[in-house]
Amino acid sequence: MKRIKDYLQLIKLSLSIMVVFSSVISYMLAPKVVEADWVMIGLLFVAGMLVTGSANAINQVVEKDTDAQMKRTAKRPIASGRMSTSEGWTFAIIAGVVGVGLLGYYFNWLSAGIAAFSLFLYAFIYTPLKKVSSMAVLMGAVPGALPCLIGWAAGDDRLSLGGWVLFGIQFLWQFPHFWAIAWIAHNDYSRVGFKLLPADKGPTKFTALQTVIYSMLLLPITLVPYFTGMCHYNDLAGKISLGLVVLANLFMIGRSVRLYQTMDVKAARKVMFGSYLYLPVVLLAFLLSKS
């Protein structure tokens, strides 16, 4: 049982589920997916969990020394010594290959290729870049948003406009989300040399303002699906969907503005938890009004 718990920590279970959730919803939003095929959805979920778990395992292998120095990560299996780096690498390689293979075999090699590219970016570009420059957040936002394109490509067999819109939403969403986390964990992160906030001096008005700006940018892009035919808004379901999306955006903007006003960890924590709520609400609202 303890070993299972270690592997769940290795793949960062809650984070992986959230990432794969966005991929599954993007798949279901693809125009060629006209009804829910739960076998295919299950296969996509498993493949996504394997690829995401592989990336997270590599992240923990590479960062085992820095993880051991931070309170929030010291109990991870590799950082704590409960699991060897060779075991971590073995799991990561097998999970990554099987996950990409499942996508290619059961869906298409376009989605598999995007998944492999995403894994590479996260594990080998974003992860080491965190100690070099705050641009790591920008680089990390790309593989963080690619699950939307993976799901869309799996369902539509191509990268059409809808997939790119979903990618853009998840890309922008990551900035207020991740800066809130970096704000809360700033002391831990700065101690090990991570540069994750946009200002070198740490949590500043500039950082809070950037959070507000990116939260505001989410509003127009989340309205795009209603004006491109991906979602409809001319019946009750569509009106509810549109209302939910607008309210979710106002909620996110409000929390970010509050952070700018108060400049405290409590407000940053509210931005973080608010962002966890925001994304599934918006994606499910889109699904409610799929054309």
User: Which tens digits make up the pLDDT trace of 69-102?
Assistant: 888 888 889 988 898 999 999 999 999 999 999 9
Q: Higher confidence at residue 88 or residue 186?
A: 88
- Residue 154: which CATH number? 1.10.357.140
55 and 153 in one domain?
Answer: yes
Give the residue from 270, 165, 153 showing the smallest Cα distance to 211: 270
User: pTM score, two decimals?
Assistant: 0.93
- Per-residue CA distances from 85 to 53, 63, 76, 237 (Å): 15, 11, 12, 50
Res 65: pLDDT: 85
In this predicted model, what pLDDT tens digit does every residue of 269-280 receive, in sequence order? 999 999 999 999
Which secondary structure element, helix H or strand E, spans residue 198, and what is its range? none
Which structural domain, as residue segments, surrounds residue 210? 160-291
Q: Is the confidence at residue 175, as pLDDT, over 80?
A: yes
| Dihedral-angle region of residue 82 (phi above 0 means left; psi in -120 to 50 means alpha; beta otherwise) | alpha
Cβ-contact 122, 59 below 8 angstroms: yes
Domain boundary among 113, 129, 158: 158
* CA-to-CA dists, residue 140 to 69, 90, 108, 172, angstroms: 22, 24, 25, 11
- The alpha-helical segments, DSSP class H, found in 63-156 are 64-69, 85-106, 109-120, 127-129, 135-156
For residues 145 and 198, state if they share a domain: no
The pLDDT tens digits of the residues spanning 115-154 come to 999 999 998 988 888 887 777 888 889 999 999 999 999 9
- Among 118, 138, 158, which residue terminates a domain? 158
